[in-house]
Homo-oligomer: A and B are copies of this chain.
């Protein structure tokens, strides 16, 4: 069998991932209080685990789908770089066996399986463990209320000659370009060891935050216009949702930044100085992501203030309209009410003599027009009418 003939993408035809509902709040996994450490928790609807092996040297790259973790053994012992990519957390037996084959500490296996855990780096003697969170735009989003992004835990176990990665979901990942770089020998990836591969994947994860942030940048820009021109209760919901999502993103990137920094500073011998320079670049990107998240958070908080002020402005406009109309017509209505009274003018010359004046009715109109005009002039001088139009223009 020639491995070259297998298509080298991530999507395997025989796996149909269940249509789970992804949550945007990454609220951590927890055991029942008091449980023994190392208990694996397999969710019922989790995708069965698939093991994909990519094995390469500078001259050659092979890709295989392995039936069981035990099939990894020959590759782990060879000098080539072996990337064992486990996709899906649904098969307890496979995951348990994986722990045995790769000699994983029970607590470590628990962290890998019981997702999500907080991103971190830990050094288990001959293995370096990295827990990371990958975020991706939700490409299946149909409804504006759907989550804008999907987040998934990826766990790395790095050793001298191999890299084990475990992903929650087989459907989505940001690694296809790295697979292509290995397959087509693009760049220098096949010249380096497993540590460079780990760097390349982490870098892909960090760079995967940028398109998500760009999406939020656009949403904020749209809201900036909406919030001044035409704020509705829906605007309020949108601002709240953006703030909540940015909070989730911040919670995802903050510990990863720390983890990468730990990799650079206190990392074990497994990472060569050359790769450390690349990780420094990746750390810069993580800081840039964090920087953008914080900026967007401040902008979103500012939008909330603007929204509140906008609503007050609109209410002011409504109140002014009511006041203008009422203030003009209430006195006039009083005036016409006066001459609707039925005092008997025949009884005394003091009883409503106006009713019998020759110019009575026209004079009342003159008086009323004078009242109305002077009130309008007063409002105009206070600049009330200007504001109406300025609101209209916006």
Give me the interface of A with B, judged by CB distance under 8 Å: 25, 27-28, 30-38, 105, 107, 110-111, 117-118, 120, 122, 174-178, 181, 186-189, 200, 203-205, 207-208, 210-211, 213-214, 217, 224, 228, 230, 232-234, 236-237, 240, 243-244, 247-248, 251, 277-278, 280-281, 284-285, 287-288, 291-292, 295, 298-299, 302-316, 318-323, 325-327, 329-334, 336-344, 347-348, 350-352, 354-362, 364, 382-383, 387, 390-392, 394
Instruction: State in angstroms the CA–CA spacing of A176 and B33 once bound together.
Output: 9
Instruction: State in angstroms the CA–CA spacing of A308 and B306 once bound together.
Output: 9
- The minimal Cβ–Cβ distance linking A201 to chain B, given in whole angstroms, is 8
Closest to A30 in B: B210
Complex interface: chain B residues within 8 A of A210 (CB): 28, 30, 33
Complex interface: chain B residues within 8 A of A36 (CB): 181, 186-189, 200
Contacts A107-B281, A316-B311, A341-B361 given; does A233 touch B352 at CB 8 Å: no
Instruction: State in angstroms the CA–CA spacing of A390 and B326 once bound together.
Output: 23
Complex interface: chain B residues within 8 A of A318 (CB): 316, 319-320, 323
Identical chains bound together, number: 5
- Cβ of B341 and Cβ of A336 under 8 Å apart? yes
* 9 further A-B pairs in the complex, CB-CB below 8 A; given A315-B316, A343-B354: A34-B176, A107-B277, A234-B394, A247-B298, A302-B304, A319-B323, A322-B322, A342-B352, A351-B358
Contacts A236-B310, A322-B323 given; does A337 touch B343 at CB 8 Å: no
- Cβ of A236 and Cβ of B329 under 8 Å apart? no
Contacts A233-B310, A315-B316 given; does A117 touch B284 at CB 8 Å: yes
Complex interface: chain B residues within 8 A of A306 (CB): 236-237, 240
- The minimal Cβ–Cβ distance linking A172 to chain B, given in whole angstroms, is 12
- The minimal Cβ–Cβ distance linking A310 to chain B, given in whole angstroms, is 7
Most central of A107, A214, A277, A337 by chain B CB within 10 Å? A337
- Cβ of A38 and Cβ of B224 under 8 Å apart? no
- Cβ of B356 and Cβ of A360 under 8 Å apart? no
Pairs across A and B, CB under 8 Å, 5 listed:
A111-B281, A122-B280, A247-B295, A318-B319, A347-B356
Contacts A27-B217, A251-B291, A325-B330 given; does A361 touch B337 at CB 8 Å: no
Instruction: State in angstroms the CA–CA spacing of A33 and B288 once bound together.
Output: 14
Most central of A175, A205, A228, A351 by chain B CB within 10 Å? A351
- Cβ of A34 and Cβ of B327 under 8 Å apart? no
Complex interface: chain B residues within 8 A of A35 (CB): 177, 207
Instruction: State in angstroms the CA–CA spacing of A372 and B320 once bound together.
Output: 19
- The minimal Cβ–Cβ distance linking A257 to chain B, given in whole angstroms, is 12
- The minimal Cβ–Cβ distance linking A138 to chain B, given in whole angstroms, is 15
Complex interface: chain B residues within 8 A of A358 (CB): 347-348, 350-351
Instruction: State in angstroms the CA–CA spacing of A348 and B357 once bound together.
Output: 8
Closest to A342 in B: B355
Complex interface: chain B residues within 8 A of A356 (CB): 344, 347
- The minimal Cβ–Cβ distance linking A28 to chain B, given in whole angstroms, is 4
The listed residue (B38, B313, B321) touching A311 by CB distance below 8 A is B313
- Cβ of B308 and Cβ of A309 under 8 Å apart? yes
- Cβ of B330 and Cβ of A336 under 8 Å apart? no
- The minimal Cβ–Cβ distance linking A113 to chain B, given in whole angstroms, is 14
- The minimal Cβ–Cβ distance linking A316 to chain B, given in whole angstroms, is 5
Instruction: State in angstroms the CA–CA spacing of A306 and B122 once bound together.
Output: 40
- Cβ of A244 and Cβ of B333 under 8 Å apart? no
